[in-house]
């Protein structure tokens, strides 16, 4: 369950989320903005159902009281079937889970401590809680408000992508493939992407930090405007569609960024 995971980046950004401590209302006054990257939930709140009460109207204790037993069940589950009722978009997630766990079984990390530090990051439809697993891994778990109550975003937790990084780097697919990445600025122009007037370069890192490639977008394109980092933002989590260029001389660590699916690791509903 922990494979490919990473601490989510950017709990507070542009007023989309407020960090709360103690037992106040989620709709209370937000603290001063801090040096944090883009929110992992920016792409999702717009799709919340209009008649669904937002988390900002709920008290912190009520959110935590619903989230903690859900987190405990999630972290103590040993089979895919145990996980599915706890998850957002289970129909979409099930085949992804079965690909990650072909035998339908997984090793449960367990929950040692919930809401570490006493902070809760909340937006209209997302709550992000820090926790500690039994193997002393510090993680953050994302809860999404649904008509059935809070559900866990497993894809965000797992850093899910359409292919594993070793598969992607071996196959060099020219078809656009969806990846969760950390996007950083970089100035690297070489091979088929040597023209820095045509291309804007970025460094794309895997969720586990084990792999990195260079992604290129055409300057002044829609995609370039979508991926562009603010002047004070060093890096940000995003879901991108990327591909290796067809018929263009390039190294095996240079890709085209075809599309930005989401700013953050929360995949929009279909």
Please tell me whether residues 38 and 89 are part of one structural domain. Answer: yes
Please tell me whether residues 152 and 177 are part of one structural domain. Answer: no
Q: What is the tens place of the pLDDT at every residue in 51-63? A: 567 899 999 999 9
Please tell me whether residues 50 and 89 are part of one structural domain. Answer: yes
Please tell me whether residues 62 and 128 are part of one structural domain. Answer: yes
Please tell me whether residues 195 and 150 are part of one structural domain. Answer: no
Q: Is the pLDDT of residue 225 over 60?
A: yes
Domain boundary among 158, 176, 195: 158
- Tell me if 43 is assigned to some domain: yes
- Tell me if 5 is assigned to some domain: no
Please tell me whether residues 142 and 203 are part of one structural domain. Answer: no
Please tell me whether residues 177 and 237 are part of one structural domain. Answer: yes
Q: Is the dihedral of CA 204, 35, 7, 66 positive or negative?
A: negative
Please tell me whether residues 80 and 172 are part of one structural domain. Answer: no
The enclosing domain of 35 has a CATH number of 3.10.450
Residue 110's contacts (CB-CB under 8 Å, 6 or more residues apart) are 75, 76, 133, 134, 135
- Tell me if 58 is assigned to some domain: yes
- State the pLDDT confidence band at 252, using cuts at 50, 70 and 90: confident
Joined together, the tokens standing for residue 39 give 């929110």
The enclosing domain of 182 has a CATH number of 2.40.50
Q: What are the backbone angles phi and psi of residue 68, rounded to the nearest 5°?
A: -65, -50
* Domains held by the chain: number: 2
Alpha-carbon distance 220 to 198, whole Å? 9
Q: Is the pLDDT of residue 81 over 60?
A: yes
- Tell me if 7 is assigned to some domain: no
Please tell me whether residues 121 and 226 are part of one structural domain. Answer: no
Q: What is the tens place of the pLDDT at every residue in 87-144? A: 999 999 999 999 999 999 999 999 999 999 988 999 999 999 999 999 999 999 999 9
Please tell me whether residues 67 and 149 are part of one structural domain. Answer: yes
Domain boundary among 158, 191, 212: 158
Cα atoms in the Cβ-side hemisphere of radius 13 Å centred on 119: 13
- Tell me if 269 is assigned to some domain: no
Please tell me whether residues 216 and 145 are part of one structural domain. Answer: no
- pTM of the model as a whole: 0.82
- Tell me if 6 is assigned to some domain: no
Domain with 209 in it: 165-263
Domain boundary among 121, 143, 158: 158
- Tell me if 232 is assigned to some domain: yes
Please tell me whether residues 143 and 32 are part of one structural domain. Answer: yes
Q: Integer distance in angstroms from the first to the last C-alpha of the chain? A: 24
pLDDT of amino acid 9: 42
- State the pLDDT confidence band at 5, using cuts at 50, 70 and 90: very low
């Amino acid at each position: 369950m922990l494979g490919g995971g990473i601490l989510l980046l950017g709990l507070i950004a542009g007023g989309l989320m407020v960090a709360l401590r103690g037992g106040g209302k989620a709709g209370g006054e937000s603290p001063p903005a801090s040096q944090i990257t883009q929110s992992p939930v920016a792409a999702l709140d717009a799709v919340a159902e209009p008649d669904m009460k937002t988390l900002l109207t709920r008290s912190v204790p009520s959110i935590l009281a619903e989230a903690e037993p859900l987190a405990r069940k999630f972290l103590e589950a040993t089979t895919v079937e145990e996980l599915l009722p706890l998850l957002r978009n289970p129909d979409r997630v099930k085949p992804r889970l079965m690909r990650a766990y072909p035998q339908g079984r997984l090793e449960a990390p367990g929950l040692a401590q919930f809401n570490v530090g006493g902070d809760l990051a909340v937006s209209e439809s997302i709550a992000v809680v820090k926790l500690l697993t039994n193997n002393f891994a510090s993680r953050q778990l994302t809860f999404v408000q649904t008509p059935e109550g809070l559900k866990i975003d497993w894809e965000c937790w797992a850093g899910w992508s359409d292919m594993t990084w070793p598969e992607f780097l071996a196959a060099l697919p020219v078809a656009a493939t969806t990846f969760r990445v950390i996007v950083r600025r970089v100035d690297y122009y070489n091979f088929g992407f040597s023209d820095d007037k045509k291309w804007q370069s970025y460094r794309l890192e895997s969720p586990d930090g084990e792999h990195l490639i260079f992604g290129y977008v055409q300057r002044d394109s829609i995609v370039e405007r979508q991926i562009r980092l603010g002047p004070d933002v060093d890096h940000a989590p995003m879901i991108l569609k990327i591909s290796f260029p067809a018929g263009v001389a390039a190294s095996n660590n240079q890709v085209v960024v075809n599309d930005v699916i989401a700013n953050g690791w929360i995949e929009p509903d279909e």
